[in-house]
């Protein structure tokens, strides 16, 4: 179990605020940290990894104290059993894919584990390549494999998929899920993507203003207090066509482009690029399985 209860003063874009977060994540869970930029999500990950030091508090993993301000305990990152996947991957530019993974092995570790990891992540054909010759998705795969080479207890992912195109993103989501399960990891990841939270996480922590405002399984958390069977689709305005009475609005919902007819009043202040919520009035969906 991962227990975090920390306090740290941060200087965000909107001024100074205090990160004061309490999280409990069971062993084997995949937890997502969700919230606006600058809410302290990355800092929380860095605190868990030992890369940032809280002003006060406690970090405990599987009964082992990693940080305790009262007992003046602060394990360095080297002594914490973690794998950290950075937003920019942080692959070592001068080493091949294989050597990037091998770098992470402890001194007397079995080298065959590298072959296993390469195989597991589909990187075997790329093992001789340098990071700068790889695509974004491949680089992210290497970062993931490297983070696992030390056989960590906790896998920490800082927005690992945010810079990737949709297809690669979906593939890598499957991969993360598979590795998380096969290796029996506890995983904590920061993401901005609600579908990603639903697909990957058993538990989501919503961060706002430096504290955890809500947490629980994603359906429960995102369904809101106003759970009334109505759906709300976050959409982005792509185009606006004016007729006399009715207006045709083209919006992007997820990956789909929809045209909707709306009234004059509703489009008055809309501009292309605006974010809106679509609230379909009649909703009786038919389900079709996709495989």
Partner 1 sequence: MSFDWQPLLLTLQLATVTTLLLLVIGVPLAWWMASSRSRMKTIAETLVSMPLILPPSVLGFYLLLAFSPQNFIGAFLRDHLDLTLVFSFQGLVLGSLLFSLPFMAQPVQAGFQGLPASLAEASYTLGKSRLHTLFKVLLPNIRPALLAGTVLSFAHTIGEFGVVLMIGGNIPGVTRVASIAIFDEVESLNYAAAHFHAAVLLALSFTILLAVYTINKRFNVARSPL
Q: Would you tell me which residues interact with partner 1 (CB under 8 A)?
A: 49-51, 76-78, 80, 82-84, 86-88, 90-94, 103-104, 106, 132, 146-147, 149-150
Q: How far, in Å, CA of 118 to CA of 121, rounded? A: 5
Give the residue with the Cβ less far from partner 1, 51 or 194.
Answer: 51
Give the residue with the Cβ less far from partner 1, 153 or 197.
Answer: 153
Q: Specify whether the CB–CB gap between 104 and 150 falls below 8 A.
A: yes
Give the DSSP H/E element, type plus range, for residue 169.
Answer: helix 166-182
- Shortest Cβ distance from residue 4 to partner 1 (Å)? 17
Place of tokens 């504290």: 211
Closest to 198 (Cα-Cα) out of 181, 223, 161: 223
Q: How far, in Å, CA of 200 to CA of 145, rounded? A: 18
Give the residue with the Cβ less far from partner 1, 54 or 218.
Answer: 54
- Shortest Cβ distance from residue 86 to partner 1 (Å)? 5
- Shortest Cβ distance from residue 142 to partner 1 (Å)? 11
- Shortest Cβ distance from residue 93 to partner 1 (Å)? 6
Q: How far, in Å, CA of 54 to CA of 19, rounded? A: 9
Give the residue with the Cβ less far from partner 1, 51 or 253.
Answer: 51
Give the residue with the Cβ less far from partner 1, 149 or 201.
Answer: 149
The set of residues, in sequence order, having a beta carbon less than 8 Å from that of 239 and lying 6+ positions away, is: 249, 250, 272
- Shortest Cβ distance from residue 84 to partner 1 (Å)? 4
């Amino acid at each position: 179990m991962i227990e975090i209860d920390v306090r740290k003063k941060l200087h965000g874009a909107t001024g100074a605020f205090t990160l004061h977060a309490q999280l409990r994540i069971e062993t084997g869970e995949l937890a997502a940290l969700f919230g606006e930029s600058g809410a302290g999500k990355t800092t929380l990950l860095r605190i868990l990894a030992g890369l940032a030091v809280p002003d006060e508090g406690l970090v405990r993993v599987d009964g082992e104290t990693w940080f305790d301000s009262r007992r003046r305990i602060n394990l360095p990152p080297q002594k914490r059993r973690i794998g950290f996947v950075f937003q920019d991957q942080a692959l070592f530019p001068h080493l091949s894919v294989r050597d990037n993974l091998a770098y992470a092995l402890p001194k007397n570790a079995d080298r065959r584990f590298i072959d296993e990891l390469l195989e597991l992540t589909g990187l075997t054909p790329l093992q001789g390549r340098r990071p700068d010759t790889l695509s974004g998705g491949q680089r992210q795969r290497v970062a993931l494999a490297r983070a696992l080479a030390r056989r960590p207890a906790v896998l920490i992912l800082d927005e690992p998929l945010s810079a990737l195109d949709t297809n690669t993103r979906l593939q890598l989501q499957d991969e993360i899920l598979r590795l998380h399960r096969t290796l029996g990891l506890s995983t904590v990841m920061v993401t901005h993507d609600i579908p990603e939270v639903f697909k990957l996480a058993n538990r989501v922590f919503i961060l706002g203003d430096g504290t955890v405002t809500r947490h629980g399984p994603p359906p429960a958390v995102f369904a809101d207090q106003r759970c009334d069977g109505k759906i709300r689709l976050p959409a982005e305005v792509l185009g606006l066509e004016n007729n006399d009475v009715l207006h045709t609005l083209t919006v992007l919902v997820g990956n789909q482009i929809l045209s909707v007819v709306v009234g004059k009043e509703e489009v008055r202040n809309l501009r292309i690029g605006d974010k809106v919520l679509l609230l379909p009035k009649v909703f009786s969906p038919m389900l079709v399985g996709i495989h």
